[in-house]
Amino acid sequence: MYNPLMIKIDSLVKRIKKKTAVDGISFEVKKGKVFALLGLNGAGKSTTIKTILGFIRPTSGNVIVDSTNIGYLPENPYYYDYLTLKELLAFSLSSSGIKDRVKERINHMAERVGMAENLDKQLRTFSKGMVQRSGIAAALIHEPELVILDEPMSGLDPLGRRMVFDLLTELKEKGATVLFCSHILSDVERLCDTAAIMNKGKIVRMFTREELLLASKQTEVFFEKSESLKEAVREMQIAEYDQTVGVFVDSADIVSFIESMKLKGFNAVTVKSADNALERIFEEAVR
Amino acid sequence: MRQVCFITFLEGVRNRVLYAIFVFAIIIMFLSTIFSQFFMQDLGKVVADFNLSAMSLAGLLISFSVSVGLIAKDLDRRTIYFVLGRNISRRGYIFGKFAGLALLIICAYIIIFLLTHIPILLMKASIPAYFKNFSWGAYALAAFADLIKCIFLNTVIIFFSSFVTASFTTLVFSILIYIAGQSLGEVLSYVSSSETYSAIAGFLNIVKYIVPDFSSLDFKTVAANGIMPPAGIYFGSIAYALVYSAVLLLLAGIIFERKEFP
């Protein structure tokens, strides 16, 4: 029977040496979708990924993964120093049982990650960015159904980040399921179908691409900070600053909102387009 | 498993430490041609002993430097994530690592064994009178037993690596076990000969069944004297090492399957 879910995590708890790294999280990743896990360092993202991959066992809860054809890029990957990139990629292919067009696949993938000229060099001679590119190539060369990338943009220059972005877009178009962690919010914004923000082991906010797009269409209207203002907009989404309070309003309703607030005695100080919607959501969630 | 074996072997072969060990072994081999001349009557014996010891020492150095590095560093540096993130089972990883290391050691031993022929043949050709008792058969059997000992030691290293995370701790444990296994027999025979140490002897008699007895695979002295080891003792020792190694590998596989990699 066709299972529409690639990953199902139910009430996952993971304690490591008395510390609760993951605290009862639940989420699902549908097949063919891109799911992003966001959060500050130590939020529990990598622990969640390691549980999905079976490197660690859950203290409680369930993790179901509906594929064994997985491509994985660890955070700060470390490979075999004395292997060449060609050997690393050949190992990736052979360990996935792929024996046909090996040379062609290796050359193509090396080309895609901008490492074609380094195929015969040993990995110990590579810079951090080159190791990251090699890791991405090793994770994707066997055309996995499920791709799990832990900080794929880490250590990459702007061109490298563009390359990863293009690869992920291509994977998405091909129908692969992607789960990735990232600190680069703009990439998450453009790529993911669903994202979850983790903080202190918990999922504190989850949103879809549609919600994110909706949030992007909002405008932040600033007023002088006061208790009466907060009371007046208590039904609305706000952000508090030192001197002001920002109220998020749908861009289409901005004029009528400012007018109605004026009638209540609150004059808008300034307005700002909320084009950094994810950043705002992220800051609010982890605050 | 085959893929892990292959990359382990490649990593080992390209490790510069391996070449330093080869150079060191060759220096010892050729020093045997100089030092043996201080023992004229026993010249053949000393040359054989020196070369077998060079082989043994090279095997130990490969095990303690290259092998420990190849396994424990996978865990230390988290290279293991890359391997286990593929379609490779944990047992497959352990057996693959063992196969790769065994292959590396077999190749190293074959090369060193062939190289040891040079000083022996040189000395034999120049002073044949002192090589009357020398037996290539006994020499080859002692070298083979030493190879098995080295592979046995590597299963001990793999066993420790399966539950110890730091490579340095694995190294220390392996060295201690090797020293214990190599000297336990002698210590036991010494304490058994005295009634004062009867309690210690009783304890060591139990320990000897737990600690791998590496000394049982040491046929260097009989080979140096040109004596063929008794078949029963020889093949019994080889079988003991192989069975013990198989048990250690199985245990390592079981432990490794339960291990977590946070």
Residue A259 CB neighbour total at 10 angstroms? 10
Is the reported ipTM for this assembly greater than 0.95?
no
Q: Could you tell me the sign of the dihedral formed by the alpha carbons of A13, A14, A15, A19, in that order?
A: negative
Does the distance separating the beta carbons of B261 and A78 come in below 8 Å?
no
| Chain A contact present for B163, CB below 8 A | no
| Any B CB within 8 A of A60 CB | no
Contacts with A21 from chain B: Cβ below 8 Å: 262
3-state secondary structure of A273: strand
Residue B95's pLDDT is 92
Comparing A246 with B106, the larger pLDDT belongs to: B106
Mean pLDDT of A122-151: 91
Contact B104, B7 (CB under 8 A): no
Beta strand residue intervals within A66-184, DSSP E: 70-73, 146-150, 177-181
pLDDT value at residue A178: 92
pLDDT at site A277: 65
Would you state the pLDDT for residue A3?
A: 67
Strand partners, A199: A202
Q: What is the pLDDT of residue B102?
A: 93
- A92 touches B at CB < 8 Å: yes
Best of A95, A145, A148 to disrupt the B interface (most B CBs within 10 Å) is: A95
pLDDT at A45 over 80: yes
* Residue with the larger pLDDT of the pair A81 and B185: A81
For position A213, what pLDDT does the model report?
67
pLDDT in tens, A174-185: 889 999 888 777
Q: Which residue has the higher pLDDT, A246 or B76?
A: A246
Going from N- to C-terminal start, the domains of chain B cover 2-257
Contact A78 B10 (CB under 8 A): no
Q: H/E element holding A8?
A: strand A5-16
Contact present, A261 and A232 (Cβ < 8 Å): yes
Q: For residue A41, count other CB atoms closer than 10 A to its CB.
A: 7
What distances in angstroms separate CA B99 from CA A97, A237, B63, B103, B170, one per listed residue?
Answer: 20, 62, 14, 6, 19
* Of B228, B34, B72, B50, the residue nearest B160 (C-alpha): B72
Beta carbons within 8 Å of B69's beta carbon, 6+ residues apart = B15, B17, B167
Taking 70 as the threshold, does the pLDDT of residue B182 lie above it? yes
pLDDT in tens, B107-165: 999 999 998 888 888 888 888 777 778 888 889 999 999 999 999 999 999 998 888 87
Mean pLDDT of A233-243: 83
pLDDT in tens, A256-274: 898 899 999 999 888 877 6
The whole-number average pLDDT for the span A38-64 is 90
Whether chain A has a CB inside 8 Å of the CB on B259: the answer is no
Q: Which of A57, A79, A48 is nearest to B80 (CA)?
A: A79
Six-digit token string for A129: 């960015």
When pLDDT is cut at 50, 70 and 90, the band that residue A275 belongs to is: low
pTM: 0.80
Q: In the block, which residue shows the tokens 């979850």?
A: A196
Residue B22 to chain A, least CA–CA distance (Å): 18
- The whole-number pLDDT of residue A216 equals 66
A168: amino acid identity, one letter: L
Give the confidence band of B260 by pLDDT, cuts at 50, 70, 90: confident
Q: What is the pLDDT of residue A164?
A: 86
Q: Which helix (H) or strand (E) holds A196?
A: strand A194-199
Share of chain B above pLDDT 70, in %: 100
- Tallying the residues shown for chain B, one arrives at 262
